[in-house]
Amino acid sequence: MARTPLSGGGPGDGAEVPRGRTRWWLVAVLTVVSALVVLPLLVALAGVVLGEDDDRGEGGRASERVPCAEALAFGGAVLPAGARPTEGCTVQGFQDIHYSAAFRMPRTGVQDWLIHTYPDAPEPGAEFCAGEAADLCLDLNRAQGLPDAVEADAVRVRVVHEEAGTALVRFTAFTL
């Protein structure tokens, strides 16, 4: 190996230093060790994120059961006389809140219940159902019939007429 003399008269005047000698192996070892430590952590993180059981809905959080009175009150309604809840009423939310309720009631009382609950709302009708399997629909928001005291920003009511004079009412109230 060729040696070159030091210039500038340092402490080893005339001593020779090896030329081109670097410690590349030290950099390589540090890189490999870092990769061996970080790579399993990244794989584990990816497994947790991609393998998470996703039973959440649109709001980002799993839905929770709540009393139907709470779900209806959020949209400014009360359970009508003679109504029976069919499914559990739920709330779901992260940034937006989404309440839902479903109940059966006498078919003849649906119109009266809607008029009493939302007196400033337009008359519900099938033309608002837009391809949904419902006989009667009502969509409300702040500009269209929703009372000011209601916490929700929008309310949707879908009514399906069933046999024996009953109606299945699906009620949702949510913030935007």
CA 27 to chain centre: 45
**pLDDT score of 5 more than 80:** no
Give me the residue spans of the domains in the chain.
14-50, 64-174
pLDDT at 81: 86
Is this prediction's pTM over 0.95? Answer: no
pLDDT for 59 equals: 46
Quickly list DSSP for the chain: --EEE--S--TTTT-EEETT---HHHHHHHHHHHHHHHHHHHHHHHHHHHT------TTSS--EE--HHHHHHHTT--PPTT-EE-S--EEEESSSEEEEEEEEEEGGGHHHHHHHH-TTSPPPBGGGSTT-S-SEEEEEETTBB--TT-S-SEEEEEEEE-GGGEEEEEEEEE--
| pLDDT tens-place string over residues 6-27 | 555 555 555 665 666 667 778 8
Percent of the chain with pLDDT over 90: 38
User: What would the mean pLDDT of 138-158 be, rounded to a whole number?
Assistant: 90
* Residue-wise pLDDT tens digits, 99-120: 999 999 999 999 999 999 999 9
CA 94 vs CA 63, 65, 91: distances in Å: 10, 15, 10
Stretch 32-44: mean pLDDT = 84
Question: Taking 80 as the threshold, does the pLDDT of residue 165 lie above it?
Answer: yes
